[in-house]
Each structure stands twice: as C-alpha cells, then as structure tokens.
Structure 1
Amino acid sequence: MEEVWQAVEAFRKDMNSGDVERINAWVSDAFVGYFGYYDDVAYRIYNGEEYRSDNIQTFQSYEGKRVEFRYTDLKTSLRKPDELILTATIDFHLDSQLLTTVLAVEVFKKEQAGWMLYRQHMEHFA
C-alpha cells in the first residue's frame, strides 16, 4: 500500500504543478475516463489518447494562472495487488477561486512503467 500511496501523492503533486507532460505521463494507454461535469452533454467518455490531448488543451488555457486541485479522500480499496480504487472529492481552484467540486473515482493500476491512472470517473458534487 505504501508504494501505491506514494504514486498517488506524486500524481496529485504533478496535477497541481500544471506540467501537462508530467500529468499525461501518468495516464495508462488502457485508460478509460467517464466525465459527467459538462454543461452541454450528460457525460463524455475518453480513452488515454483523447484524455492526454484534452489535458494539453485544458492546461494551455490555464497558462499564467495558478491551478490547484484539493483532494479529500473518502475511501480506498486495494481491489487486487496491482489495482487501487479510491474515491475523493476534488475542489478545483483557479487563481485561488473555487470553480467546482467533483466526486471522483480513480483506479490506479501497476503496469510495467509503474503505477498508472487506469480509470477515472468524475461528476459534479453538490
């Protein structure tokens, strides 16, 4: 468990760095993401390539601004020796202003390259 928690904390640190190359390095090629926090559609599904591409566009739009993701862990479970499921709420701040809070379910899976973000489900948290 210690090894995967170190990876999760490193991932979160990279998220808050705004360095999209480091962020995208965490995304598994087998990644699938389900995101239900858009205004124009109920949800979107991303594969790894689409998610990394969207991250590049998104973080470019944040250039010159301070990005902060504040995680509040709710529950964790080691589903298999190589898969950690965690649930959290994430407060997204841009230049110290809270923009949204989401409920997230994330699965980190140990692959040859190390622990990777394998699945992610996010939706608005009321």
Structure 2
Amino acid sequence: MLNEAIKAVEEYRSVLNTSDVNEVNKWISSEFIGYFGYYNDRDYEVYNGDSYKRSNIETFESYKGQNPQWQYTDLTRNCRSENEIIYSTIIDFYLSGEKVASALAIEIFKKEQEGWRLYRQHMERYSSGW
C-alpha cells in the first residue's frame, strides 16, 4: 500500500507541474480541507474542496505564460492508516524560473473510490535562512 500511495503522490506532483488545472482539480477530494497561512495580506485562508478548485482555476489563469513549477523537498512521510499517507514537505514555488515563495506543508492523501486524492493540506510560509 505504501508504494502505491507514494506513486500516486508523485503522479499528483507531476500533474501539478503541467499547469493543467482541470487535471489538477481531479486530484482534489470532495472532502478536502486546506489551511493556508502563507499570504502577505492576511493571516490564513480555509478552503473546502469546491472553493479550492475554484481558487485553482483563478490562480492557474494568473500564471499563464510564467511556467509555474512546484519543487518538493520531503521531510517525512508515513502511512496514517491503510488508506492515508501523510507528508511533511517544503514546497518551493517558481515563476519563469525564479523562486518566488517557499512553504512548509503537511499534506494528507486519501485513497477514495476514484483513487488517491489530496484530502488535507496545511501550509505555512517557510524561510530557509535567518
């Protein structure tokens, strides 16, 4: 089960870097909850599956022509249950080849009837230096 979960997460990350928002949104669980605290203009945002998918459409549209890329540095990964894998990771985000943000993330992928889906995500701004 672990290898299947790891392969699914790697596939999700590959899809994310294609910038095909329709394919990306297929990976989002209808039960998704996301807590994002990396914004400059507010403390945090909470998303459910529908609001996150809508936000993805708007966000990917704003990235057109800038080749958005997400680079993951996994810190830990563990099966939380037979059908859930949890990752802690640093995500570096690039536009037009230039790093514009880093986030520390906890991501939980859950095996659902349709396959593995992003089920939970918590992100905080991350800085690698002082």
Which TM-score band applies after superposition, normalised by the shorter structure? over 0.9
Residues 60-89 of structure 1, C-alpha deviations (whole Å, 9 max, x = no match): 001112111010000011010001000100
Partner of 2:121: 120
Shift of residue 53 of structure 1?
0.1
Partner of 2:49: 48
- For residues 67 and 51 of structure 1, the distance between their equivalents in structure 2, rounded to whole angstroms, comes to 18
Residues 91-124 of structure 1, C-alpha deviations (whole Å, 9 max, x = no match): 1000000001100100000000000000000111
Residue 17 of structure 2 aligns to a residue whose secondary structure is helix
- For residues 20 and 80 of structure 1, the distance between their equivalents in structure 2, rounded to whole angstroms, comes to 29
- For residues 62 and 126 of structure 2, the distance between their equivalents in structure 1, rounded to whole angstroms, comes to 23
Partner of 2:6: 5
Residues 5-40 of structure 1, C-alpha deviations (whole Å, 9 max, x = no match): 110001000111000001000000000000001112
Matches within 5 A, 1:69-80: 69-80=70-81
- For residues 64 and 96 of structure 1, the distance between their equivalents in structure 2, rounded to whole angstroms, comes to 12
Pair 1:91-2:92 in alignment? yes
2:8 partner amino acid: A
2:39 partner amino acid: Y
1:74 partner amino acid: L
1:70 partner amino acid: Q
Residue 43 of structure 2 aligns to a residue whose secondary structure is coil
- For residues 38 and 91 of structure 2, the distance between their equivalents in structure 1, rounded to whole angstroms, comes to 12
TM-score, scaled to structure 1: 0.98
**Unmatched runs of 5 consecutive residues or more in structure 1:** none
- For residues 39 and 106 of structure 2, the distance between their equivalents in structure 1, rounded to whole angstroms, comes to 17
Aligned residues with identical type, % of pairs: 47
Partner of 1:31: 32
Shift of residue 43 of structure 1?
0.5
**Unmatched runs of 5 consecutive residues or more in structure 2:** none
TM-score, scaled to structure 2: 0.95
